[in-house]
């Protein structure tokens, strides 16, 4: 295999260049930090040891939400901040962050009664500055059934509607990284930070990194380092010899995906289950996904399994509120499991631990940020870069104020969500004119926004294969060229989301897509087979489940 000219040029820069800041970790927090710092004028390098968003940032519930349940823990400040952030993130990427009305059924014996729910939703709206049609609406039992006929009727007492936003977490991460690059940042995936170089005063002056794609090592000079590595943040603190009693606790969350016809919901639903937790069931194109679990995790953070017990727990809770669908394990097309890097709190259950973020600063100058929520990524980035600004002040440096709330992400801009919907119609017409699949318009716009025509134009230049294959190949080639996509599995899982939300679409285009990567990276036959095997293994990993090993804490058990 060979590196692309763009990637090779980036590595040529590393050895002879000193950066203002190296950001380690290419999830949503690191992506946000890179954009925040670069947009303030810093020369930034972002390093990710696997693919961008390959950890927690592609394994969330994929909601930009205020966290209604955090009101129960009286985390008022957290709810206020992330509640307001929903609107900000929607405004900078309305094609990616879409309004989602959430139905909250009220049931006998549920965690919230009608009065409590009404008050909680009112407080939620107040803290988040929700206005107009997005304000909460309380429903009678009959109105709730009319909105969602599948809901269980014998224990239903009413319901409520409130506003959230749905996203694709991996795409949101990637668009932040691309936007950071537009502001001068350099981003490299499959490049692992392995060590630090210190001066005589014990201050970090360089980062040793390993290019896992070409198997080469570089020493990169830098003035500052921020670690935003999520579940791996303590690993780098160990490398830096700066661990303290404050550490990360990993909580595993599992989601499952079923075909839309097996759970044909009219709305996203947030509902009670018998152990006191609450699930989301969220329609998305041809699927509905359900989650999540919340259990301690102490295994391999690079391969987090979904166990039969996880799936059965989610199915049981879903069937209890939608009894007519009778979902079975055979209905589960796909799944994902990730870990939340929470700040450990003694004596608390995993679900009770705060989702607040925290910054650790070591004597070497290393800044590490952990905890937090997907929704709050921009404010987390702002806080840690502000902290960096204080380091800079010690030697007379000065940092501009953040303005990322005004920066449209790549794929935009759009004036509002109505403009996004109008644009989808334009893309459908372009697809039809090109004899391609017009039903892919919503998918293309939600993934790529105003970058979609570039993919369509590339597809029209392809003469071989079905219209579906031509479009898929053009999309894959565009992602190789524009989104640092090194391996076919990166495209299948994170650039396109097919591994989770469109599993049946993979096999019909797989060989053509593999050929696109083979041409770009000069695969040997052995390389080609290895990439084919990776995708086969990934499909098995997300769709076939084993029992949890003895001693594993599974959902429904006490998790302290």
Q: Judge whether 270 lies within some domain.
A: yes
How many separate domains does the chain show? 3
Same domain assignment for residues 293 and 315: yes
Same domain assignment for residues 291 and 426: no
Same domain assignment for residues 141 and 110: yes
223-259 confidence digits (pLDDT tens): 999 999 999 999 999 999 988 778 888 999 999 999 9
Q: Judge whether 515 lies within some domain.
A: yes
d(CA 430, CA 425) in angstroms, rounded, equals 9
pLDDT of residue 479: 98
| Summary mean pLDDT of the chain | 93
90-117 confidence digits (pLDDT tens): 999 999 999 999 999 999 988 777 888 8
Same domain assignment for residues 118 and 266: yes
| Least confidently predicted of 42-51, 268-277, 308-317 | 268-277
SS3 call for 323: coil
249-303 confidence digits (pLDDT tens): 899 999 999 999 999 999 999 999 988 889 999 999 999 999 999 999 999 999 9
pTM across the whole model: 0.95
pLDDT of residue 201 exceeding 90, the answer is yes
At 134, is the pLDDT very low, low, confident or very high (cuts 50, 70, 90)?
Answer: confident
Same domain assignment for residues 275 and 389: no
Question: Which residue matches tokens 């999830």?
Answer: 27
Check which CATH number belongs to the domain holding 282 and give it: 3.30.9.10
Q: Judge whether 140 lies within some domain.
A: yes
Opening angle at CA 348, ends 347 and 354, nearest 5: 135
Q: Judge whether 80 lies within some domain.
A: no
Q: Judge whether 560 lies within some domain.
A: no
Whether residue 86 contacts residue 95, with contact meaning beta carbons closer than 8 Å, is answered with: no
3-state secondary structure 406-432: HCCCECECCCCHHHHHHHHHHHHHHHH
Q: Mean pLDDT over residues 61-68, rounded?
A: 85
pLDDT of residue 13 exceeding 70, the answer is yes
Long-range contacts of 152-156 (CB under 8 A, 24+ apart): 152/105, 152/107, 152/320, 152/321, 152/322, 152/323, 155/107, 155/108, 155/109, 156/105, 156/106, 156/107
Same domain assignment for residues 269 and 344: yes
Same domain assignment for residues 133 and 278: yes
Same domain assignment for residues 260 and 178: no
Same domain assignment for residues 258 and 243: no
418-442 confidence digits (pLDDT tens): 999 999 999 999 999 999 989 999 9
Same domain assignment for residues 177 and 218: yes
Of 352, 372, 387, which one is at a domain's C-terminal end?
Answer: 352
Check which CATH number belongs to the domain holding 19 and give it: 3.50.50.60
Same domain assignment for residues 444 and 392: no
d(CA 391, CA 398) in angstroms, rounded, equals 9
d(CA 87, CA 318) in angstroms, rounded, equals 29
pLDDT of residue 384: 98
488-531 confidence digits (pLDDT tens): 999 999 999 999 999 999 999 999 999 999 999 999 999 999 99
Same domain assignment for residues 241 and 254: no
d(CA 382, CA 200) in angstroms, rounded, equals 30
Q: Judge whether 119 lies within some domain.
A: yes
Q: The domain containing residue 128 runs over which residues?
A: 100-165+249-352
């Amino acid at each position: 295999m060979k590196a692309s000219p763009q990637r090779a040029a980036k590595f040529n820069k590393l050895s002879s260049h000193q950066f203002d800041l190296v950001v380690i970790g290419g999830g949503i927090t690191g992506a946000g930090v890179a954009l925040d710092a670069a947009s303030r004028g810093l020369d930034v390098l972002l390093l990710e040891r696997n693919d961008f968003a390959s950890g927690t940032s592609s394994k969330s519930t994929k909601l930009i939400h205020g966290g209604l349940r955090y009101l129960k823990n009286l985390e008022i400040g957290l709810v206020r901040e992330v509640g307001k952030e929903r609107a900000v993130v929607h405004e900078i990427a309305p094609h990616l962050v879409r309004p989602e009305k959430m139905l909250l059924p009220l049931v006998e014996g549920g965690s919230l009664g009608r009065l409590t729910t009404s008050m909680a939703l009112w407080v939620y709206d107040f803290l988040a500055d929700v206005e107009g049609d997005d304000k909460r609406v309380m429903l009678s039992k009959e109105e709730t059934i009319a909105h969602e006929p599948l809901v269980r009727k014998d224990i239903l007492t009413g319901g409520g509607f409130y506003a959230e936003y749905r996203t694709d977490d991996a795409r949101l991460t990637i668009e932040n990284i691309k936007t950071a690059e537009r502001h001068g940042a350099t981003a490299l995936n499959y490049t692992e930070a392995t060590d630090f170089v210190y001066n005589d005063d014990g201050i970090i002056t360089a980062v040793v990194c390993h290019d896992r794609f070409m198997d080469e090592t570089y020493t990169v000079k830098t003035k500052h380092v921020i670690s935003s590595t999520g579940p791996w943040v303590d690993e780098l603190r160990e490398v830096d010899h700066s661990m303290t009693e404050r550490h990360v606790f990993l909580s595993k969350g599992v989601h499952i995906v079923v075909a839309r016809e097996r759970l044909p919901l009219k709305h996203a639903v947030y509902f009670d289950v018998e152990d006191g937790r609450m699930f989301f069931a969220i329609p998305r194109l041809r699927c509905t996904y359900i989650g999540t679990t919340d259990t301690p995790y102490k295994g391999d953070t690079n391969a987090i399994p979904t166990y039969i017990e996880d799936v059965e727990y989610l199915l049981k809770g879903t069937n209890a509120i939608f009894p007519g669908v009778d979902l079975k394990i055979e209905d589960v097309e796909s799944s994902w499991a990730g870990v939340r890097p929470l700040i450990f709190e003694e004596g608390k259950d995993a679900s009770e631990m705060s989702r607040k973020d925290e910054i650790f600063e070591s004597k070497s100058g290393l800044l590490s940020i952990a905890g937090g929520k997907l929704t709050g990524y921009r404010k987390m980035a702002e806080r840690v870069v502000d902290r960096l600004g204080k380091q800079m002040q010690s030697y007379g440096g000065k940092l501009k104020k953040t303005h990322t709330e005004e920066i449209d992400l790549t794929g935009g801009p759009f004036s509002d969500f109505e403009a996004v919907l109008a644009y989808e119609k334009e893309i459908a017409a372009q697809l039809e004119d090109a004899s391609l699949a017009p039903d892919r318009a919503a998918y293309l716009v939600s993934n790529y926004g105003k970058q979609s025509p570039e993919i369509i134009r590339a597809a029209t230049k392809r003469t071989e294969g079905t219209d579906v294959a031509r479009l898929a190949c053009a999309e894959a080639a565009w992602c190789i060229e524009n989104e640092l996509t090194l391996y076919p599995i990166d495209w299948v899982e994170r650039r396109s989301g097919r591994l989770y939300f469109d599993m049946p679409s993979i096999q019909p285009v797989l060989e053509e897509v593999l050929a696109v990567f083979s041409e770009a990276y000069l695969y040997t036959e052995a390389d080609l087979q290895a990439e084919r095997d990776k995708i086969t293994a990934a499909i098995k990993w997300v769709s076939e489940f084993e029992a949890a090993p003895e001693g594993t804490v599974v959902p429904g058990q006490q998790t302290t």
